[in-house]
Structure 1
C-alpha cells in the first residue's frame, strides 16, 4: 500500500454519509475492534458487528474494495505501515538518498506535497466545526498530545490561552493527567494529537473522555489513530516522506490554521484578552 492509498479507517470516515443503517453497524463494529475483526472470516465479522454477512460484503464494497480478500490485504499492509519504526524506515531512506543528491530540496518538495494532500483530504465542514468548537467560550477546551506531538499541543495551548479562557493542556504524566480528567465536563472540547506508532495511554484517555461525554477532535496521520473510534471530528494529515522520520509539517500547519480560524471566530474575546496582555 502506497502512502497515497487511504487507510481503511479513512475510507470509513469518508464513506460514512452514504452508508445504510445496517452498513453503519458493520462500520461501528470494525472501528470498535479495529482492525481485528476485519482480519477474521466474514461470518465472524458479521456476528461481532451485529450485521449479516451480506451487509458486511456490501459495506466492504462501499469502501471501494472489489472483494473481501482485497479488503483484508489492505488491512494487513496498513498494519505493517502503522507499526514501522524509524529504524525500519531508515532502509528506504538510504535507498532514496543514493538516488537523489538534493536532500533539502527533495525533502521540502515532499512535505509541500503532504500539505496540499492533507488540505484536499480534510472536508471544509470538519475544519470549520473543529474551529468553532475551539472558539466556543461556553465550553472548556483541553488539549493533549503524545511523545512527538505534545509540543504541538503545547503550541496550540499557548495561542488559545490568549484567545479565550478555559484552555488547558493535559499533563503528559499519567498520574497527573488522571487528576485533570476529573475536571472535564460533558460536552467540553478535547483536542487529541496521535500519530503512528500510536500511544496506548492516549487510547485509555480517549475511552475515559468518551465515558465523560467529552467532544473529541482528533488530529492524526493518514493511517488514522485508533482514537478515531471515540472522536466526533477526525482531521487526518499526511506525514510519510520515505525517510527515517515522518514529517509532521502538515500537522503543524493544520494546528496553525485551527488557531488562526478560532481566533477569527472568537475575535471579541480574543481582542480584549490580547489587548490586556499588550498593555501590561
Structure 2
C-alpha cells in the first residue's frame, strides 16, 4: 500500500476500521483532501471524532505521523493539478530501442496495477448494479473520458434496457437529471485535471439519490465524495499525456461481467438485435 494515494488507502482499509475511525474516514472523504491539510483538532471537529481517533485513523492508513500524512496529501494535490506541459518537463530522455515496445509495457503495467488495486467487492457491486434492468443507467464523462461513457453505453444498450448517456452540455444535462429516479445507477468518468461540471453533475445525482459509480485515476476525483463505488485506475506514464488504457480495460471488464450477470435477459435481447 506504500505507493497508494491517501484516498485509495482509505477505501482499502475502511471496512477494517472501528466505528469511530470510520467517522474520521468519512469526514476526510467528504471534504477531500482539504480537511486533511487542516490541524488535527480541526479535522476531528469536522469529522465528529476526537483528535486521538484521527491520529489512530492516520496510523491505520500506514503513516508514522500526522505531518507525514499531510505531506502525502500535498504531494497528491501537486500531481492532481499537473498539466501536460508540466509533465513534459520531467519526461525522460529517449534511451533508444523500440518506443512502441516500451510504451506498451508501461500500459500493461498500468492495467496490472489497476486490477491489483480495485477491490473485488467494489467491482462486483458495480457490475451487479449495472446488470439490474429495473434500475435505469446513466453515463457521463469529461473532455477525454466521454468517449469511454459512449463506448460503454453502446454495449450496455445491447444487454439491458434503460441506458442513456447524459448530454455534454451542462444545461441539457441538468434537464436530463430531473428525470433520474431514486435508486437509478449513474456511471461517471473523471480523471485529473478534474472537470468542475462533472463534479456539479455528481452533486445533482446525489440529490436525486442515484447510486453513483465513479471510474477515475489513481489520485481519485473529488466526485468520490458522492460515489457509492469508486474504481481507481492507473493512468500516469512517463510521457506528456496520461493514458486511459487501464480505464478502458476496466470498462471492458465491467461490460463483460455485466453481460454474464444479466445473461438470462440479455441473451434474448442480443438475439433479437442480431
Q: TM-score normalized by structure 2?
A: 0.97
- SS of alignment partner, residue 90 of structure 2: helix
How far off is 1:40 after superposition? 1.2
| Deviations, residues 239-267 of structure 1 (Å, cap 9, x unaligned) | 10111000110100110111111111111
- SS of alignment partner, residue 53 of structure 2: helix
| Deviations, residues 126-155 of structure 1 (Å, cap 9, x unaligned) | 111111111101100111111100000000
How far off is 1:35 after superposition? 1.2
**How far apart, in 2, do the equivalents of 1:43 and 1:163 lie?**
50
Instruction: Give the aligned partner of residue 67 of structure 1.
Output: 65
Shifted more, 23-32 versus 112-121: the winner is 23-32
Of 52, 55, 58, the match for 2:56: 58
| Deviations, residues 100-135 of structure 1 (Å, cap 9, x unaligned) | 442211110001001011111112221111111111
| 1:97–1:103 contact (8 Å) kept in structure 2 | no
Structure 2 residue 61 is the aligned partner of structure 1 residue 41: no
Instruction: Give the aligned partner of residue 105 of structure 2.
Output: 109
**How far apart, in 1, do the equivalents of 2:222 and 2:234 lie?**
16
Instruction: Give the aligned partner of residue 177 of structure 1.
Output: 173
Structure 2 residue 18 is the aligned partner of structure 1 residue 20: yes
Instruction: Give the aligned partner of residue 85 of structure 1.
Output: 83
**How far apart, in 1, do the equivalents of 2:123 and 2:51 lie?**
35
Structure 2 residue 141 is the aligned partner of structure 1 residue 145: yes
| 2:31–2:225 contact (8 Å) kept in structure 1 | no
Structure 2, unaligned runs of 5 or more: none
How far off is 1:36 after superposition? 1.2
**How far apart, in 1, do the equivalents of 2:93 and 2:104 lie?**
14
Instruction: Give the aligned partner of residue 202 of structure 1.
Output: 198
Structure 2 residue 251 is the aligned partner of structure 1 residue 245: no
Instruction: Give the aligned partner of residue 256 of structure 1.
Output: 252
Instruction: Give the aligned partner of residue 231 of structure 1.
Output: 227
Matches within 5 A, 1:150-169: 150-169=146-165
- SS of alignment partner, residue 218 of structure 1: strand
**How far apart, in 1, do the equivalents of 2:24 and 2:2 lie?**
25
How far off is 1:269 after superposition? 2.1
Structure 2 residue 99 is the aligned partner of structure 1 residue 99: no
**How far apart, in 2, do the equivalents of 1:40 and 1:32 lie?**
14
Query: How many residues are paired up?
Result: 274
Instruction: Give the aligned partner of residue 270 of structure 2.
Output: 274
| 1:142–1:167 contact (8 Å) kept in structure 2 | yes
